[in-house]
A and B are shown apart, each in its own frame.
Chain A
Amino acid sequence: MSLDTVDIAGTTPERVQPFAELGLKPDEYQRIREILGRRPTSSELAMYSVMWSEHCSYKSSKVHLRQFGDKAPKSEALLVGIGENAGVVDVGQGYAVTFKIESHNHPSFVEPYQGAATGVGGIVRDILTMGARPIAVMDPLRFGAADAPDTRRVLTGIVAGIGGYGNCLGLPNIGGEVVFDETYAGNPLVNALCVGVMRHDQIKLAKASGAGNLVVLFGAKTGGDGIGGVSVLASETFGAGGSTKRPSVQVGDPFTEKVLIECSLEIFAEDLVVGIQDLGGAGLSCATSELASAGTGGMRVALDDVPLRDPSLSPEEILMSESQERMCAIVEPSKIARFLEICKKWDVTATVIGEVTDGVRLVITWHGQTIVDVPPRTVAHEGPVYSRPFSKPDYVDRVNAEKLTIPMPKTAAEVRSAVLQLMSSPNMADKSWVTSQYDKYVQGNTIQSQPEDSGMVRIDETTQLGIAISTDANAPWSYLNPYEGAKLALAEAARNIATAGAKPLAVTNCLNFGSPEDPGVMWQFAETVRGLADGCLEMGLPVTGGNVSFYNQTGDVAILPTPVIGVLGVIQDVRTRTPMAFDRPGLDLYLLGETRNDLAGSEWAYMHHQRGGIAPQSDLQHEMRLIDALLEGQSIFEAAHDLSQGGLAASLSEMALRHNIGATVLLEGEIAVELLSETPGRVVVAIDKGDAHALQSIAQKYDIAITKIGVTGGTTLSINDAEIALDDLRSAFVDTIPRLFG
């Protein structure tokens, strides 16, 4: 193996380099040569190739994502916006909260356990990097058809991986989604959300400034795992014939991460770092170039000082390795002794690998020879940007014109059978087989978790201040109308925290799509971003960050457009929250909001293999009034539950089964529509009879339609003349998932 240095690169411009194998286009490679004024060294080529990848550079999505900034509503709550590892929101009382979702879709299909586990690990480090103590995780998941053979392999592995990693970190898992749809076969979605809390003055940024400050790598040693494209480089350029095939999926070690979290928090508490960055995608290439780029620009790193698990790694591999549980900090020389002392206490390996310089170049050496000499911004922030062509795909008008032909239950027997069918369908059935594999209690501050509408954790034990988060997506609606689908998912997530009594503050997102090289997919993406940006502006909620996952596609078949939207809210006193279900008989049930015939994209339609029709039209003004009404009425609500997938039938069933208390409901109008339509902007609330007047005046004040639909009590869910024993409903609800996966 011969070392490719900057000197050699300067004198061998003709050397053929494997840029295409590394995923770079000819013009991108040419641009690198122009930036450097010579051919890149193999190490530089490796760095540019990973940093200019779709995953790291957002080159296809950037032109659209700008809207989140351009249309950003004025928000006093936003302390750190898009661009850092995660956005930070002011929740009052001096507390700042940071939260973000990321995808780990492709690795989780290849190796479900480790793919999902390292997805959790990566997002937790993003939150830690902001200076925050991670306090909870959530996992929106999507799988192929529930009864497809591969779903069993993928789901059980992913769930075990999320639990195996998150439980071992001591982070409560407070919610998420489990959705089945055949378009996710081969492309399961593993989106991982983490939320963390800190005081305002503890916020940390990924920035290397101050010449002479030290660059410290700490955490796990660097191994050969997670090297994707670079194994190509290694085998093409060096050691042909004898190269090892290294796994491209990272392997997680949650114990190391747990210790790294505690060690880092102790370091933060003593204010020992100038800047900090975790090592995730693109490893050291990303951390060094981003830190330098965000600072004054100059940094020198001695790559041979990086502690290795595998001493045979080449410099290119070290730069690209995505070994987990590593962090990179910028530390003033006067503080390094204390920094290393804390690392020693926690048995965390920490090594000074370089320093910040007063130059403008990122220089990396290997045993004294320069192998990288680049302007860091060109690696980290000035990658290629594409305005990829997009056009409305043909399917949209075709499916929008389709008329639904689905059974519309009318008689008591049909209604009973429809409710039981609905509640036993994989998408509606009880998910506790999944969620019981996650620790929801650790840290002792969990107020709500699955199956509540949102997750809620207390952040101050004295004042009882808390936060709530919900993640939602409605891919069938996004398929019919991606612009409305994004707005509707935003509205649903906001509503889901307001039902508990939390006020929505900020938004994060994880946008999962097929190939951006397909103009139809690109149109779905563009419409989604436009819808989300417009929706956030209208609702006054800033987008604090997010993640884009493209190429969720097998052959020509892309996943349904799946924008997962997370909304964070604050509640002043968690003791006042409203639970999703009533816990006693004799309460009155009211429906807030109006029901229209919105069966297109509904669960009932999906169960009958129909994807056509027109998605509902969002009415965000109505949603905002509904949220205000929910917050104002919090003190009179004994229970409040959002209506979404499965409509009123699902919400009533879930409420009744939660504490095994039935309800008697009388519905006017077409019973199938009343029960199964998924018209947005609706909530069921339970109140004491004596609070009827108060509810009416709130409804009037906010111009929200209310309908009294029934009373709680008994051992059946009675809907008009249909009687469903709770025992039967429970069997339908709880048996499905264990039968499929247990």
Chain B
Amino acid sequence: MKIGVVTFPGSLDDRDAARAVRAVGAEAIALWHGDSDLHGVDAVILPGGFSYGDYLRCGAISRFAPVMSSIIEKAKSGMPLLGICNGFQVLCESHLLPGALTRNHALHFLCSDQTLKIENNSTAWTSDYEIGQEIVIPLKNGEGSFQCDDGTLARLEGEGLVVARYVGENPNGSRNLIAGITNARGNIVGLMPHPEHAIDPLTGPSAGGLGFFTSIMSQLVSK
């Protein structure tokens, strides 16, 4: 199985996402922002970081990268796509997922070991979790507050499109404690915290993030 990890200028967690991909036995394929060729990958991860410095709005420039046009096209026809942190921001800017990520309510960067509750295990990236399962994975960003209009929020909640929610105090002011969402088809997931940094208790707060990567492997293998 081949899972692509995109590097934009300013991507930071691309090597970490690739490590997590390898940890579950998949082949990690480096995809370059300026190259629209996806090299036959079965799924794609948009990693964390500050693509293009996030100088306009987070993810606003990346959506126009040549690689994104191919990814958007494939994802619309069902290719699994996971956006982590800056990747989630890119997914929202690309209109593959609704809503926007805005400045944390405390107005500064926050790095913490965050407890999440899995709310939807029918996506391509969360099938190995139980509904209601709690995991601890790192949250680290300055613009992680999920915002959307009331209608969108009602739809996300009503259709069960919330993938994961923060447990405990709201870390960044996200509406309804939303940490991650999916599309109706369940192939595209955007998540603010970093599962790739929780695949080994040696280097992360737990191995609770590994499920995102074992889930996609199960999906791809069973196809």
B110 within 8 A of A: yes
A618 at the B interface (CB under 8 A): no
**Whose C-beta in chain A lies nearest to the C-beta of B199?**
A444
Known: A259-B10, A436-B112. A444 touches B197 (CB 8 A): yes
Is A304 at the interface (CB under 8 A from chain B)? no
Q: Which residue of A has the minimal Cβ distance to B19?
A: A444
> Quick one: which of A239-255 are within 8 Å of B by CB?
253-255
A163 at interface, CB cutoff 8 A: yes
Known: A255-B50, A444-B196. A574 touches B111 (CB 8 A): no
Q: Which residues of A contact B16 (CB under 8 A)?
A: 442-444
With a 10 A CB-CB cut-off, give which of B19, B54, B203 has the most chain A CB atoms: B203
Q: B10–A439 contact, CB under 8 A?
A: no
Q: What is the bound-complex CA distance between A561 and B49, given in angstroms?
A: 39
Task: Tell me, in angstroms, the Cα distance from A259 to B49 when the chains sit together.
Answer: 12
Interfacial residues of chain A within 422-461, with CB under 8 A of chain B in the complex: 435-447, 458, 461
B9 — nearest CB in chain A belongs to which residue?
A259
Q: How far is the CB of A341 from chain B (nearest CB, A)?
A: 14
Q: Which residues on B sit within 8 Å (CB–CB) of A160?
A: 108-109
Q: Does A168 contact B (CB under 8 A)?
A: yes
Question: A164 — which chain B residues lie within 8 A by C-beta?
Answer: 109
B108 touches A437 (CB 8 A): yes
- Check if A346 sits within 8 Å of B13, measured CB to CB: no
Q: Closest residue to A438 on the B side, CB-wise?
A: B111
- Is B112 a contact partner of A170 (Cβ separation < 8 A)? no
Which residues does chain B contribute within 8 Å of A444, judged by CB atoms? 15-16, 19, 196-197, 203-204
The CA-CA distance from A490 to B141 in the complex, in Å, is 35
B13 touches A255 (CB 8 A): no
Within the assembled complex, what's the spacing in Å between the Cα atoms of A391 and B158? 78
A437 touches B53 (CB 8 A): no
Interface residues of A in 571-588 (CB under 8 A from B): 574-575
Q: Which residues of A contact B204 (CB under 8 A)?
A: 441, 444
Report Cα–Cα, A346/B34, bound state, in Å: 10
Distance in angstroms from B142 CB to nearest chain A CB is 8
A443-B15 CB under 8 A given contacts A436-B110, A438-B111, A575-B202: yes
Q: Is A402 engaged at the interface, CB distance under 8 Å to the other chain? A: no
Q: Is A347 an interface residue (CB 8 A)?
A: yes
Q: Which of A160, A164, A170 is the most central at the interface, judged by chain B CB atoms within 10 Å of its CB?
A: A170
CB-based contact A574/B202 at 8 Å: yes
Does B194 belong to the interface (CB within 8 Å)? Answer: yes
Nearest neighbor of B140 in chain A, beta-carbon distance: A439
- Tell me which residues across on chain B come within 8 A of A256, comparing CB atoms: 53
Contact B53 A441 (CB under 8 A): no
Q: Are B53 and A446 in contact (CB under 8 A)?
A: no
Q: Which residues on the A side are within 8 Å of B202 (C-beta)? A: 447, 458, 574-575
A442 to B141, CA, bound (A): 11
List, in ascending order, chain B residues with CB within 8 A of A168's CB: 10, 12, 50, 53
Q: Tell me the B88-117 residues at the A interface (CB within 8 Å).
A: 106, 108-112
Q: Does A625 contact B (CB under 8 A)?
A: no
0/1 string, B11-38, CB within 8 A of A gives 1:
0110110010000000000000000000
A715 contacts the other chain (Cβ, under 8 Å)? Answer: no
**Cα-based distance from A456 to B9 in the complex (angstroms):** 28
Nearest A residue to B20 via CB reads A444
Q: Which of A169, A256, A439, A458 has the most CB of B within 10 A?
A: A439
Complex CA distance for A273 and B87, rounded to whole angstroms? 35
* CB nearest to B107 among chain A residues: A160
Instruction: Establish whether residues A255 and B9, one from each chain, have CB atoms under 8 Å apart when the complex forms.
Output: yes
Report how far A164 CA is from B9 CA in the complex, Å: 17
Contact B49 A458 (CB under 8 A): no
Cα A347 to Cα B50 in complex, Å, equals 16
- CB-based nearest B residue for A444: B16
**Chain A residue nearest in CB terms to B51:** A255
Residues of A within 8 A of B140 (CB): 167, 439, 441-442
When distances are taken between beta carbons in the complex, the residues of chain A under 8 Å from B203 are 441, 444-447, 458
Q: What residues on B are CB-neighbors of A575 within 8 Å?
A: 202
A258 contacts chain B at the CB level, 8 A cutoff? yes
Q: Which residues of B contact A445 (CB under 8 A)?
A: 203
Nearest residue (CB) in B for A574 is B202
Nearest-neighbour CB distance to chain B for A312, whole angstroms, equals: 25
Q: Bound state CA distance, A445 and B199, in angstroms?
A: 12
- CB pair A436 B111 closer than 8 Å: yes
User: Shortest Cβ distance from B50 into chain A, in angstroms?
Assistant: 5
Q: How far is the CA of A276 from the CA of B50 in the complex (A)?
A: 27
Please measure, in the bound complex, the distance between the C-alpha atom of A164 and the C-alpha atom of B109, giving whole angstroms. 8
> With A444-B19, A446-B203, A447-B203 known to touch, is A258 a contact of B10 (CB < 8 Å)?
yes
In the assembled complex, the Cα of A445 lies from the Cα of B15 at a distance in Å of 11
**Chain B contacts of A169 at CB under 8 A?**
12
In the assembly, what is the distance between CA of A249 and CA of B161, in Å?
A: 48
Given the contacts A441-B204, A444-B203, A255 and B10 also touching, CB distance less than 8 Å = yes
17 more CB-based (< 8 A) A-B contacts, given A163-B109, A442-B140, A574-B202: A164-B109, A253-B53, A254-B50, A258-B9, A258-B12, A436-B110, A436-B111, A437-B110, A441-B111, A441-B138, A442-B12, A442-B48, A443-B16, A444-B19, A444-B203, A447-B203, A575-B202
**Can you list 19 pairs linking A and B with CB atoms under 8 Å apart?**
A160-B108, A167-B140, A168-B12, A168-B53, A255-B10, A255-B53, A258-B50, A346-B9, A437-B108, A438-B109, A439-B109, A441-B111, A441-B138, A442-B48, A443-B15, A444-B204, A446-B203, A461-B19, A742-B106
